[in-house]
């Protein structure tokens, strides 16, 4: 086993050990935050595949998460509750209770199918029209969930979803997402995708099938967003249209932008920061006494902080924290060595003077 | 009610809504024409304008004063946003501006949320505006007439400004070819500022009128009208001034007629139709009714 495969192997072992410790020692609240963290990683990496690598600035990923989430939840919903809570479906579906994994995958697949249907017309749009059209998808799905009460329980939210998700599921999926996106991006297909993003005419001239390349990336991206939605539903045990609103659009973009469009490492970092940071702000939102000081309830403080981060990143470092670089042990080590060398060179230069 | 009366009533409702969309669309269309930027914060500037006008109305001020307060607040907000956030980004990639506008949108919504509350609000009742108005068999309220009258006046003023003043000429030149205009000595940042001032002022007008027509205002109620305004601008042809107004009217009529004539089960999906229309327009005629096809597709 060479160094190339040893390092990821050790990393996965360490992650496994950390997850085991977390699952056995942490209380439900921390487990939920960690779960959301993993789901956010999946969402951000998948969004990055479309927007960062593919140049398809999608504001429709919450819609894909919603479609995947509701599909998985409806498939895996307990048969005893189905007929009374969501009576709109045909009899055979009401009698069916699908195991968790196939339900998740089917949720992702449904999101993919919608992505193909929507992407076929919409991906022909260039630049920012795509953003508005996909934002439209978010609105359409939102309106659909609220109004199709017999199928989704509407604004009430679909509660009573069995708690199938745990950290193993979530981080397993997160690893799978990272692996697939990484391999996809660092392949012939990925080079074609980035070529289309940077100059689609040049890419077309070089024999890249622009429409197909974009559609494939969009569809794969939607699959993982859908799976993340499925994991979310079975983690929180409830799905509401509010979870997939404009707010979800903003936060998804913020996670991706903060980390860097076109960097998987960046997406992970962005998701971690944007999941952990709000946990420290929420106490201030509720108001009351914090560290002995009185605070009034500050509604929307989390969103204000996220918005300010978004604006500041755009003003100061529009490429995000990681830019389009990836974390690599070898390069990090090399950079440390490089710094020392530079230092040495400086001293020599001063002496020479 | 006869078929014809229903039709005329819907027509009137659609036109009123359309004028509101038109007022919102102008700012979005002008900004896109200049910067190739979808200003997602436009609707939130509108909302901010109303929320500053609301206390003025509660204090017992008459309608014209409330309107002025709304316009002033929206204009100031629009100017501050473009000065602090958009201007430093004028030379950066398109997507940077887009994301920045998303950030501003989120910021404005939640600052207003923090300073007020999520409970919906309405301006103090204005008996004159609430009076019913009958036109043949069609029933409206005075506020609807006010919307049409004010929209026409403000659109005409903007039109005259664009056609007959030097800054207006400069704005049109910029929209045509920003690089050539820059080389002719037009100061781009200043013109961008003027563009935002006009757009935000018109949004302020629309905001106050929406407040009086519908009531029920919360910090999020600007975002969707803003996005719909963009859809209207696309229908009319982005970057085109008459296009924005006519696109607004078309969108308003479409929305009202779809909701009015579709069966109830389908009529609930009101907001969804707007975006289906957008996707359709972009596929069939991406340059809209009056727009020029974009030569360089980026």
Which residues are bridge partners to A159 per DSSP? A238
Joined tokens for residue A271: 């998701």
Residues A131-141, mean pLDDT to the nearest whole number: 90
At residue B293, the pLDDT reads 64
Cα(A115)–Cα(A60) distance, rounded to whole angstroms?
Answer: 9
Going by C-alpha positions, the residue among B197, B167, B224, B222 that lies closest to residue B74 is B197
Residues A162-175, mean pLDDT to the nearest whole number: 91
Count CA within 13 A, CB hemisphere, residue A213.
24
**Residue of B219, B220, B275 lying closest to A136 (CB–CB):** B275
The β-bridge relationship of strands B138-141 and A288-290 is unpaired
Which residues are bridge partners to A294 per DSSP? A289
Minimal Cα–Cα distance from A311 to chain B, Å? 5
Cα(A223)–Cα(A220) distance, rounded to whole angstroms?
Answer: 5
Query: CB distance A136–B85 less than 8 Å?
Result: no
Helices A246-259 and A127-147, packing angle to 10 deg: 140
**Residue of A129, A143, A315 lying closest to B88 (CB–CB):** A315
Cα(B14)–Cα(A29) distance, rounded to whole angstroms?
Answer: 50
Which residue from A minimizes the CA distance to B270?
Answer: A143
Query: CB distance A128–B94 less than 8 Å?
Result: yes
The β-bridge relationship of strands A238-239 and A158-159 is antiparallel
Contact B16, B133 (CB under 8 A): no
At residue A352, the pLDDT reads 41
Contact A160, A82 (CB under 8 A): no
- Is B251 in the A-facing interface, judged by CB distances under 8 Å? no
At residue A340, the pLDDT reads 53
Which residue from B minimizes the CA distance to A284?
Answer: B114
The β-bridge relationship of strands B132-135 and B138-141 is antiparallel
Top mean pLDDT of A162-166, A260-264, B18-22 is at B18-22
Q: Concatenated DSSP letters for B120-155?
A: -B-PPP-HHHHSEEEETTEEEEHHHHHHHHHHHHHH
Query: CB distance B272–A314 less than 8 Å?
Result: no
Top mean pLDDT of A75-89, A281-295, A304-318, B266-280 is at A304-318
Residues A221-237, mean pLDDT to the nearest whole number: 95
Cα(A42)–Cα(A22) distance, rounded to whole angstroms?
Answer: 19
- Is B284 in the A-facing interface, judged by CB distances under 8 Å? no
Number of Cβ pairs closer than 8 Å across A and B? Answer: 135
Q: Which residues contact B109 (CB under 8 A, 6 or more apart)?
A: A300, A303, B44, B47, B219, B220, B222, B223
Cα(A63)–Cα(A114) distance, rounded to whole angstroms?
Answer: 10
Residue A292: band (very low, low, confident or very high) from pLDDT cuts 50, 70, 90? low
At residue B158, the pLDDT reads 93
**Residue of A135, A137, A303 lying closest to B227 (CB–CB):** A135
**Residue of A124, A143, A298 lying closest to B272 (CB–CB):** A143
At residue A93, the pLDDT reads 82
Residue A44 in this model has a pLDDT that exceeds 80? yes
- Residue A330 sits at φ, ψ, to 5 deg, of -60, -45
Contact B175, B34 (CB under 8 A): yes
- The percent of residues in chain A predicted with pLDDT above 90, rounded, is 43
Cβ atoms < 10 Å from Cβ of A162: 15
Contact A262, A52 (CB under 8 A): yes
Which of residues 20 through 59 in chain B touch A, CB cutoff 8 A? 36-38
Residue A345 in this model has a pLDDT that exceeds 50? no
Residue A278 in this model has a pLDDT that exceeds 70? yes
Contact A74, A86 (CB under 8 A): yes
Q: Which residues of B touch A127 (CB under 8 A)?
A: 36, 94, 297-298
Q: What is the 3-state secondary structure (H, E, C) of chain A?
A: CCHHHHHHHHHHHHHHHHHHHHHHHCCHHHHHHHHHHHHHHHHHHHHHHHHHHCCCCCCCHHHHHHHHHHHHHHHHCCHHHHHHHCCCCCHHHHCCCCCHHHHHHHHHHHHHHHHHHHHHHHCCCCHHHHHHHHHHHHHHHHHHHHHCHHHHCHHHCEECCCCCCCHHHHHHHHHHHHHHHHHHHCCHHHHHHHHHHHCHHHHHHCCCCHHHHHHHHHHHHHHHHHHHHHHHHHHHCEECHHHHCHHHHHHHHHHHHHHCCCCHHHHHHHHHHHHHHHHHHHHHHHCEEECCEEECCCCCHHHHHHHHHHHHHHHHCCCCCCCCCCCCHHHHHHHHHHHHHHHHHHHHHHHHC
Query: CB distance B279–A133 less than 8 Å?
Result: yes
Which residue from A minimizes the CA distance to B267?
Answer: A147
Cα(A128)–Cα(B93) distance, rounded to whole angstroms?
Answer: 12
Contact A315, B89 (CB under 8 A): yes
Interface test with B, best of A151, A251, A300, A324 (most B CBs within 10 A): A300
Place of tokens 């609707």: B43
Residue A90 in this model has a pLDDT that exceeds 70? yes
- Residue A245 sits at φ, ψ, to 5 deg, of -90, -170
Cα(B241)–Cα(B168) distance, rounded to whole angstroms?
Answer: 12
- Name every residue in A having a CB less than 8 A away from some CB of B: 57, 121-122, 124-129, 131-133, 135-137, 139-140, 143-144, 147, 200, 246, 249-250, 253-254, 257, 261, 298-301, 303-304, 306-308, 310-311, 314-315, 318
- Is B138 in the A-facing interface, judged by CB distances under 8 Å? no
Cα(A295)–Cα(A34) distance, rounded to whole angstroms?
Answer: 27
Query: CB distance B113–A300 less than 8 Å?
Result: yes
**Residue of B98, B109, B227 lying closest to A57 (CB–CB):** B98
- Is B103 in the A-facing interface, judged by CB distances under 8 Å? yes
- Is the model more confident about A55 or about B93? A55
Residue A350: band (very low, low, confident or very high) from pLDDT cuts 50, 70, 90? very low
Cα(A203)–Cα(B273) distance, rounded to whole angstroms?
Answer: 35
Going by C-alpha positions, the residue among B232, B164, B183 that lies closest to residue B203 is B232
Instruction: Encode pLDDT of A199-222 as tens digits.
Output: 888 998 998 988 899 999 999 999
**Residue of A143, A200, A315 lying closest to B89 (CB–CB):** A315
Cα(B139)–Cα(B8) distance, rounded to whole angstroms?
Answer: 10
Which of residues 104 through 123 in chain B touch A, CB cutoff 8 A? 104-107, 109-111, 113-114, 117-118
* DSSP code at position B244: H
At residue B90, the pLDDT reads 85
Residues A159-163, mean pLDDT to the nearest whole number: 88
Which residue from A minimizes the CA distance to B273?
Answer: A140
**In the predicted model, what is the mean pLDDT of chain A?**
86
pLDDT along chain B (298 residues), means of 10: 86 94 93 88 94 92 93 95 91 84 93 86 85 84 91 94 92 87 90 93 94 89 91 89 93 91 80 86 81 55
Residue A239 in this model has a pLDDT that exceeds 80? yes
- Is B86 in the A-facing interface, judged by CB distances under 8 Å? no
**Residue of A127, A144, A300 lying closest to B94 (CB–CB):** A127
Minimal Cα–Cα distance from B87 to chain A, Å? 10
ipTM: 0.85
Residue A343 in this model has a pLDDT that exceeds 50? no
Contact A108, A68 (CB under 8 A): yes
Going by C-alpha positions, the residue among A244, A245, A271 that lies closest to residue A257 is A271
Cα(A286)–Cα(A284) distance, rounded to whole angstroms?
Answer: 5
- Is B80 in the A-facing interface, judged by CB distances under 8 Å? no
- Is B271 in the A-facing interface, judged by CB distances under 8 Å? yes
- Is B88 in the A-facing interface, judged by CB distances under 8 Å? yes
Joined tokens for residue B239: 């970057």
Taking phi first (over 0 means left), then psi (-120 to 50 degrees means alpha), and beta for anything else, what does residue A240 get?
beta
Query: CB distance A311–B270 less than 8 Å?
Result: no
Q: Which residues of A touch B117 (CB under 8 A)?
A: 299
Place of tokens 């086993």: A1
Cα(B79)–Cα(A163) distance, rounded to whole angstroms?
Answer: 49
């Amino acid at each position: 086993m060479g160094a190339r495969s040893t390092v990821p192997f050790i990393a996965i072992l360490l992650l496994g050990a950390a997850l085991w410790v977390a699952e056995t020692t942490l209380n439900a609240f921390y487990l939920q935050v960690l779960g959301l963290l993993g789901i956010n990683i999946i969402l951000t990496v998948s969004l990055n595949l479309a927007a960062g690598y593919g140049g398809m600035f999608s504001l429709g990923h919450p819609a894909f998460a919603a479609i995947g989430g509701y599909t998985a939840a409806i498939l895996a919903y307990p048969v005893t509750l189905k007929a009374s809570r969501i009576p709109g479906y045909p009899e055979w579906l009401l009698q069916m209770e699908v195991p968790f994994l196939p339900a998740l995958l089917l949720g992702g697949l449904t999101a993919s199918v919608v992505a193909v249907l929507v992407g076929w017309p919409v991906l022909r749009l260039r630049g920012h029209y795509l953003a508005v059209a996909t934002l439209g998808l978010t609105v359409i799905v939102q309106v659909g969930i609220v109004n199709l009460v017999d199928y989704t329980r509407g604004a009430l939210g679909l509660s009573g979803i069995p708690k199938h998700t745990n950290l193993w599921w979530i981080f397993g999926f997160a690893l799978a997402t990272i692996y697939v996106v990484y391999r996809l991006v660092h392949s012939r297909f990925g080079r074609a995708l980035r070529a289309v993003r940077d100059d689609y005419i040049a890419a077309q001239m070089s024999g890249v099938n622009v429409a197909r390349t974009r559609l494939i990336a969009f569809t794969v991206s939607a699959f993982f967003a859908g799976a993340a939605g499925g994991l979310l539903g079975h983690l929180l045990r409830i799905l509401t249209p509010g979870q997939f609103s404009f707010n979800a659009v903003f936060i998804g973009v913020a996670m991706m932008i903060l980390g860097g469009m076109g960097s998987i490492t960046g997406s992970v970092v962005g998701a971690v920061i944007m999941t952990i940071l709000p946990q420290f702000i929420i106490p201030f939102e509720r108001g009351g006494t914090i560290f002995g000081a009185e605070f009034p309830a500050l509604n929307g403080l989390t969103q204000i902080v996220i918005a300010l981060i978004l604006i500041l990143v755009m003003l100061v470092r529009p490429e995000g924290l990681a830019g389009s670089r990836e974390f690599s042990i070898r390069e990090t080590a090399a950079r440390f060595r490089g710094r020392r060398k530079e230092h040495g060179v400086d001293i020599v230069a001063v002496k020479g003077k | 009610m006869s078929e014809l009366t229903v039709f005329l009533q819907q027509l009137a409702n659609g036109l009123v809504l359309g004028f509101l969309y038109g007022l919102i669309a102008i700012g979005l269309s002008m900004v896109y024409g200049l910067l190739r930027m979808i200003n997602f914060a436009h609707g939130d500037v509108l909302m901010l304008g109303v929320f500053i006008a609301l206390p003025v109305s509660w204090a017992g001020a008459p309608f014209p004063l409330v309107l002025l307060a709304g316009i002033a607040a929206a204009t100031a907000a629009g100017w501050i946003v473009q000065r602090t956030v958009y201007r430093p980004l004028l030379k950066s990639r398109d997507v940077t501006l887009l994301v920045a506008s998303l950030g501003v949108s989120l910021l404005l919504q939640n600052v207003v949320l923090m300073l007020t509350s999520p409970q919906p609000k309405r301006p103090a009742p204005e008996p004159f505006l609430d009076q019913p108005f009958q036109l043949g068999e069609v029933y409206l309220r005075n506020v609807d007439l006010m919307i049409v009258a004010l929209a026409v006046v403000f659109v005409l003023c903007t039109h005259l400004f664009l056609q007959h003043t030097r800054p207006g000429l400069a704005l049109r030149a910029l929209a045509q070819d920003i690089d050539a205009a820059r080389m002719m000595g037009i100061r781009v940042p200043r013109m961008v500022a003027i563009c935002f001032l006009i757009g935000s002022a018109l949004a302020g007008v629309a905001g106050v009128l929406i407040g009086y027509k519908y009531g029920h205002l919360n910090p999020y109620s600007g975002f969707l009208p803003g996005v719909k305004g963009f859809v209207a601008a696309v229908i009319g042809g982005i970057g085109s001034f008459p296009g924005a107004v006519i696109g607004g009217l078309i969108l308003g009529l479409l929305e009202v007629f779809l909701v009015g004539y579709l069966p109830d089960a389908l009529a609930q999906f009101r907001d969804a139709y707007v975006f289906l229309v957008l996707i359709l327009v972009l596929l069939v005629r991406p340059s809209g009714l009056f727009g020029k096809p974009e030569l360089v597709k980026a």
